[in-house]
Amino acid sequence: MHSDSTPQISATEAADLLTGDAVLLDVREQHEWDAGHAPQARHLAMSQLAGRIAEIPSDVRVICVCHVGGRSAAVSEALTRAGFDAANLSGGMAAWEAAGLPVVDNVGGPGAVI
């Protein structure tokens, strides 16, 4: 569940922002990432967030994504509270794929959202 304080953006809005100063942070688990992710995404599983928050850039907008948007909403809220400019990708990787945006597997071939 997300609050109204965390921005929600669509997959196409996210893709547009990634051409500038923004990073797509995929917070799904390793097996989900390996099966299929956005080519320009960075992977940091939600379960590892607390110990690896220093790896997240603080000088750009961070767009969080998971499978359908629940986990990424929680992460984007936590990042916002920690002072990051964070947003949630509404609908997650399912929405990304449905918008016809690219999905690759862990070796760069065609991926699938699971």
Cβ neighbours for 53, distance < 8 A, ≥ 6 positions apart: 79, 82
What is the model's pLDDT at position 6?
84
- pLDDT band for position 4 (50/70/90)? low
Class of CATH domain 8-98:
alpha beta
Q: Domain ranges in the chain?
A: 8-98
Q: Which of 104, 109, 110 is nearest to 33 (CA)?
A: 104
What is the model's pLDDT at position 18?
95
Q: Please give the DSSP secondary-structure letter assigned to residue 46.
A: G
Span 26-38, pLDDT tens digits = 999 999 999 999 9
Question: Which residues is 78 bridged to in the sheet?
Answer: none
- What are the Cα distances from residue 8, in Å, to 27, 83, 96, 113? 16, 17, 14, 20
Does 75 have pLDDT greater than 80? yes
- pTM over cut 0.75: yes
Does 21 have pLDDT greater than 80? yes
Is 37:110 a contact under the CB 8 Å cutoff? no
